Amino acid sequence: MPEGDTVFRTARRLNDALAGAVVTRFELRVPQLATADLRGQTVHDVVARGKHLLHRIGEFTLHTHLKMEGEWHVYRRGERWRNAAFKARAVIGATAPDGTEWETVGFDLAEIKLVPTSAEDDLVGYLGPDPLSPEWDPDEAARRLAADSRAVHVAIQDQRNIAGFGNEYANEILFVRGVLPTTPADRTDAASLVDLGARMIRANRDRSGRTFTGDSRPGQSTWVYRREGRPCRRCGTLIRGGSLGADPTKERIVFWCPRCQTDPD
C-alpha cells in the first residue's frame, strides 16, 4: 500500500534518473492535459510531500498521487515496460547529463495535475508536517493531532495533521502505544504517537519491504494489521477487526488487540 515511505522511495528513484535531465518525451494520458508539452525543459528535481509526488520541470510542477494502485517505473529507453501500456497515465522520457536516456512511466495514477511551480502550494500547501521531510516539525504535528477530537485512528490518517501516514501505519502505531483506535485523538499522548510514527516511517524509508515488528518475513511484519482472528503477538488474545472513518464513504479497516489496547478512561 503506497504510504509516505513508498512515495519517498519512488521520488528518490525518479530523482536519481531525472534530476538535471532534459525532457525528450512528455505524455499525460488524461483528457484535460493531453496537449501539455514540456519537451526541451530541464527536470530540476522530483520530491515527495507526504503521499504526493512532485516533478519540477522548467517552470512547472507535475503533481501525481498514487492512491491505492498507482506506481511509477523507471526504465532505460527501449526497455520493455513491466505493466500494460493501457494503464500508463504519464510518460516522461529524458536525457541525463551523462547521456543516459531514461523513460519513466506512471501507471494507474489516481491524480494528475500540472501547475506553475509558483502555484505548487495550491495543491499541497494544506498538508501537515511530513516526518520524511527535512522541514519535519514534530511539535506542530503533535499540536494538530492533539487538537483533533475524532477517533485517533482517523486523525492520524488525516493528511492535514501529519503527511504520509496511511491505514497500515495508523493501526501499527496505535497497537505499539497501546491505544484503542476509537479513542478521541485529543485524549491521547499525541507527542508520543507522533514520535513513534516518525521513527517507524524513517526506519522503513530505506527498506525494500515494510516491517513494524523487525521481522520482514511474509506474515511476520505487522502486529495487528490484517491479523483479525489471529493471536496477539504479545498476549495471545485474538485480534479484532472493524472499520472506522471520518464518514461512511471514507471508512478504513481497523485492527486492534482488546487486551493490549485500551481507552485512557
The catalytic site residues sit at 2-3, 51, 252
β-pair partners for 95: 22, 101
Q: For residues 75 and 227, give the distance between their C-alpha atoms in angstroms, rounded to a whole number.
A: 36
CA 241 remoteness from chain centre:
23
User: Per-residue DSSP letters for 15-27?
Assistant: HHHHTTPEEEEEE
Q: Using alpha carbons only, how large is the chain's radius of gyration in Å?
A: 20
Q: For residues 7 and 47, give the distance between their C-alpha atoms in angstroms, rounded to a whole number.
A: 9
Output the nine-digit C-alpha cell for 247: 464518514
Q: For residues 235 and 257, give the distance between their C-alpha atoms in angstroms, rounded to a whole number.
A: 9
Residues 6+ away with beta carbon under 8 Å from 18: 43, 46, 55, 92, 94, 96, 102, 104
Euclidean distance between the first and the last CA atom of the chain, given in angstroms as a whole number: 33
Q: For residues 187 and 248, give the distance between their C-alpha atoms in angstroms, rounded to a whole number.
A: 23
Closest CA to 154 of 253, 240, 261: 253
Q: For residues 239 and 224, give the distance between their C-alpha atoms in angstroms, rounded to a whole number.
A: 7
